[in-house]
Chains A and B, each alone.
Chain A
């Protein structure tokens, strides 16, 4: 068994599992802060109920993100020691700053955010929520700085085969970083938005007509409807940036085999890497040149320029199309739902039914986008600096196969349980929403957050 291939599959499995949870928590933290601030301003307990429902989802997602993230940090050493040995001088500080500025902040204030509502003042509880949200965002900042550096390395020089930083500003704010960061933050916003909208729609379908259900539903739908056009624009800009710095990736995304002007946009095809051509191609003439170069005569790089040095075409091509397809679906569903909710003040059942499965649309899009960019970086681990095959460690294929099987089984079970619990929480919230607890009792409890010992 090939340890390189198995290690790659294992890393892909770990990072795919891990990214699902930060994709939710990075922006759900801010949504919770929004709920809390609305409550502080209006004193409307429906906002606080929304907070308490979604803070559970946050806690669960956060826990899964933490435990799978710890796995990631060990993976560098167990499977890819060549990575840190070559670029450790760059990657190390970025990872260290993530731990120092983000991990502790989120982990410590999470306790107060989850369980401290009656132990600290309302103001401190709001502050704790804000700090947790800040922490998750800082975390995204550092990880994407590192990931972008691996895509478009800058600000360093190689000495005896080891990367040394020359300019930290250039390392962190490398050419693709701003695009990637904004794209990922928006992706997280969309993931949380559709999760909130989807589970709220589920509650609606179960008969829940409580204020907190309407508030979360409106928040989710509005957030999705606002972010998706911005995301489409940012995604396009990100693509142009990739064209400039990683043309081989763009060529694979487009399954464009020949460099030249007047290149068509391939809508569907079956890329055949052996024959170096597309089968069953459906394409719109000149459109790729128009999109990428804003002129039909614009020269678009093709895979023939990078023979032997370009990523596998089919997975990048399909992953990219899935991501874009989900984006279009998000636009249609969220705008339709927003129109009914905010113009007609109601939610037709077909729209609610459409929103429920869209709860996981963010996940699918994030994974597809992640595969596009990460597989698109191959055969490089650090573009132009370190090949993936050079970083793999001396462990045997058998060992990797054993741990890979363990991780896959564990992840499969956890994913099923996680989704099961989300649905269970939504059903439970729907039941409680119907019951409409006595508001007077609720008022007293919520208005008197106590300090410890008082």
Chain B
């Protein structure tokens, strides 16, 4: 491959898009997950759960806007192909995100007797958004096929991704809460882990089986040797998390952040596997990142801004997480 500017720029943008999708999945993953766990929480616990994500959710969701923005900007042709193929699930995703985003705000401002209604909407919106994302992932993994078996597979991925988000949410609660709610979160984590592991196994198995090209990329020598750590480390992390869940909460709140970090690693590994499988395609087996890329002078213009601004964004995001660090306390406007 000839490394020149027009070759390199789409590659950089594919990387940036991957990074923002991964950050989105991890960050909005935990707050969507907390929305899903709402269904199992008591009335008073809900306020603490909201307090654990209140200052962050909006910034977390912005990574989705950046990811879609980059798809739109860097790969305009793929953008149209993918989003028209996923027309209805995209609508359901947006519908869910809208409901969830407004429920967040409305539940704190409406008269007390209406709060329960918005709690239900918050759960429904979070669940719908997570399921829609999983469904879209399932259809995408199978190369945007929409036959009956593809739909069934996508539904399975939908449930598993929602469970994975619930696991992230539970792990975040272990970090941000104390006492009974923390103990409850440990139990939630354990249950959600089972589904998460099943989902990852299903996607890992289905991807190479539906595409001979991807099968070839994974199961030939020497690739299989240096790719082996991906599934092995993932499985190891799952086992470690499972055992950990029986020792939490630990005295002095030790290890409370570890489940979250471990899950974030699992997500990153799974994501790396997918990225490896699909490279160099942005629409599986149809359009490569170079075919779909926008003009390199336009991408160069964005890249300048990105290189300057992205570190600043990461910097103030970390600052905001530190401002609201520690255990979640009651949120109030004054």
Contact = CB atoms under 8 A, between A and B. Distances in A.
Interface string A370-401: 00000000000000000000000111000100
Interface residues of B, number: 65
A111 B55 contact: yes
B310 A100 contact: yes
A84 interface: yes
A99 to B, nearest CB: 5
Interface stretch (A54-62, A326-334, A344-352): A54-62
B91 A78 contact: yes
B224 interface: no
B84 A81 contact: yes
Interface stretch (B163-171, B208-216, B299-307): B299-307
B83 A74 contact: yes
B28 to A, nearest CB: 11
A71 B94 contact: yes
Contact of B110 (A62, A95, A107, A421): A421
A395 B87 CA distance: 8
A395 B86 CA distance: 10
Interface in B59-96: 59, 61-62, 64-66, 68-74, 76-77, 79-84, 87-88, 90-91, 94-95
Nearest to B111: A424
A104 interface: yes
A150 to B, nearest CB: 15
Nearest to B64: A70
A interface, size bucket: 35 or more
A23 to B, nearest CB: 17
A164 B323 contact: no
B298 A93 contact: yes
A63 interface: yes
Contacts of B66: 99-100, 103-104
Contact of B324 (A48, A111, A395, A425): A111
A108 interface: yes
A90 B301 CA distance: 10
Among A68, A70, A89, A104, residue most surrounded by chain B Cβ atoms (within 10 Å): A104
Contacts of B83: 74, 77-78, 81
B11 to A, nearest CB: 17
Contact of B62 (A82, A99, A114, A452): A99
Contacts of A77: 68, 71-72, 79-80, 82-84, 90
A392 B70 CA distance: 21
A109 B55 CA distance: 9
A95 B73 contact: yes
B18 to A, nearest CB: 16
B56 interface: yes
A445 to B, nearest CB: 8
A229 interface: no
A66 interface: yes
Nearest to A88: B76
B321 to A, nearest CB: 9
Contact of A452 (B61, B64, B325): B325
B59 A108 contact: yes
Contacts of B326: 452-453
A410 interface: yes
Among B87, B90, B322, residue most surrounded by chain A Cβ atoms (within 10 Å): B87
Contacts of A63: 58, 101-102, 104-105
A66 B56 contact: no
Contacts of A42: none
A162 B292 CA distance: 13
B320 A92 contact: no
Contacts of B70: 96
A71 B93 CA distance: 9
A39 to B, nearest CB: 12
A85 B97 CA distance: 27
Interface stretch (A116-124, A281-289, A307-315): A116-124
Contacts of A74: 68, 83, 90, 94
A452 to B, nearest CB: 6
A401 B59 CA distance: 32
Contact of B323 (A88, A99, A112): A112
Given A67-B102, A81-B80, A100 B55 contact: no
B54 A115 contact: yes
B295 interface: yes
Contact of B302 (A68, A97, A117, A410): A97
A406 interface: yes
B334 A81 contact: no
Nearest to A65: B101
Contact of B333 (A52, A81, A421): A52
B333 A56 contact: yes
Nearest to B80: A81
A116 B325 CA distance: 11
B294 A88 contact: yes
A424 B115 CA distance: 14
A104 B55 contact: no
A398 to B, nearest CB: 10
A417 B59 contact: no
B90 A424 contact: no
A73 B301 contact: no
A366 B244 CA distance: 56
Contacts of B309: 100-101
Interface of A: 48, 52, 55-56, 59-60, 62-64, 66-71, 73-74, 76-78, 81-82, 84-85, 88-90, 92-93, 95-97, 99-101, 103-105, 107-112, 114-117, 119-120, 162, 164-165, 168, 393-395, 399, 402-403, 406, 410, 414, 417, 421, 424-425, 445, 452-453
Closest 6 CB pairs of A and B: A81-B80, A77-B83, A111-B55, A92-B73, A88-B76, A84-B76
16 contacts: A52-B334, A64-B101, A70-B97, A70-B98, A74-B90, A74-B94, A78-B90, A89-B297, A96-B302, A100-B305, A108-B316, A116-B324, A164-B298, A417-B106, A421-B109, A424-B110
Given A85-B80, A165-B297, 13 more contacts: A84-B72, A88-B72, A95-B69, A100-B66, A100-B305, A100-B306, A107-B61, A108-B316, A114-B54, A116-B55, A120-B323, A414-B98, A424-B109
